[in-house]
Structure 1
Amino acid sequence: MVENIDDLDDFLVDNQSIILQSIAEDLRACLPLEAMAPSETMAVQKTSQKSLPTVHVDAFLYDEETVDSLCEVGKMSRNYCLDCASHRTAPLEFISHSFSILELQFLFQTVLPDLTGKQVIDVGSRLGAVLYGGYLYSAAAQLVGIEISSEFVKLQTMTVEKYGFSDRIQVIHADIRSQAALVQNADVLIMNNVFEYFMEPSDQMQAWQFISHNFRKKGALLVTVPSIQEAHAVLQENVSLEMLPLCQWIEEVPLDYTVYIKNDTDADSLKQIHLYRVL
């Protein structure tokens, strides 16, 4: 029995999480274990070229408990062998191009303000995790996913229709650089590991320049993983890029990551989330 408002809030949050977990189960059945589309050859190649052995584990599809279960049955591993046929092992590096359910809760319940009447755009919406999280955890008027992969657009469209989210969610099959009017009108822009693994350096530079030129609505909010400074530092290793004048365009909004730390929360993953405000 729900006895007070706090209990009701906990029940609603749990119910929302259950819906997201149901969506994740649906999508896991449609994707290989690595959750990469056949067209994502560049992302696969770049992941394999990391200095430490790295695998893609989609955080929306596979939470820590699910990863542990897969490791127990030998379908996934957290470690790699330092010497073939040896017991010497080291932890694998995991990378995700999606937010986990806990990260989505943190994003919409703590990082972002009340989104009533606002338009949210997810750049490279992939499986649609941000869209579903925004639908369930916020009152955003419209959530728009821009996705260049036709395979992922189909999966998102299927999910939106199945769960009845089409009144507030729209998925567009396009390169973000073709969506100037949409970006100019956005109140919130979300970018999670969106360019580095999926574009050549010259295209990444053009994409960042497009964002800086078009996302100019005063007070609009930009969420990035990793920070803009880190993303540009990686890019500068490959091309000669003059750092965008961040102080003239946006300012970083300090976040208190400790307010959302729970027993099952990966604090380091939350600290990868950065919030900026357009000046």
Structure 2
Amino acid sequence: MAAKKGALAGRYRLLEPAGHHPGAEAWRAKDELLDRFVVVARLPPGCPFDAAHSDRVRAKAIRDARAAVRLHHPHVVVVHDVFEQDLTPYVVTEDLATRTLAELVERQGSFPPDRVAALGAQLASALAAAHAAGIRHRGLGPDKVLLTADGTAKIAGFGLSTGGFPAPEVAGGASPGFAADVYSLGATLYFALEGRVPGTAVPPRASGPVLDALLPLVRPEPATRPSMAEAERTLTGLAVPRPPSVAEPRSGRNRARVLVTGTVLVVALGTAVTTRAAFRRLSTS
């Protein structure tokens, strides 16, 4: 199918506004070249009064988005394309029927611990894969976590690098490192569990192993936080059911074997008793 004139980049025909893209204007669109629906997000511009700064912001946004194109993971929103038009960068992603974690917590309240563990395992696996590839998110928060109807989580916004729950060092002006993503993940999961961000004077309502796993992720000092790979292992261990204990009752086959053996013994004993009684009657007659 040929590309269409008047469409962005000659192929993306904008249809309607799309949500789930904080920090950017986004539209649901039709990719006329590949005949599929996508989401096109316009990345936020730089400072209009500082052309050099705007150029740096634009170049960084494009660099981050192109890095996200290389990231293929079941819990990351697929980035199809990155392009510029009229000195404005755009990112094209898959079109998903989802709600953000922020929306779900606002409407339904906080999540139970087991659901937070399952959510955390999915998100940590995606971020650990990104870190292994040298890619940082830099802006993770409840508005960047998309959830499908079956509970599958996907991370959006690798090309936006804005918003989210920044780590203390980032809020203080430092460049976001891998440890900053760890903090943002922990803060996002704490929000899912408690309905508020960590670090407030209000003590957590929840308790138990899931909360214990989240608190190290949001330590103030970056060097004291676990790596994303360590966070993934911890959360996955909490999300996966434990195997049955060897001390549990024997299997159905073993129980059946015991029942059959017991029946045979009862029949044998009954036959022996009946035979002995018969011999006794014959001897007295």
TM-score, reference length from structure 1: 0.25
CA radius of gyration, larger in: 2
TM-score, reference length from structure 2: 0.25
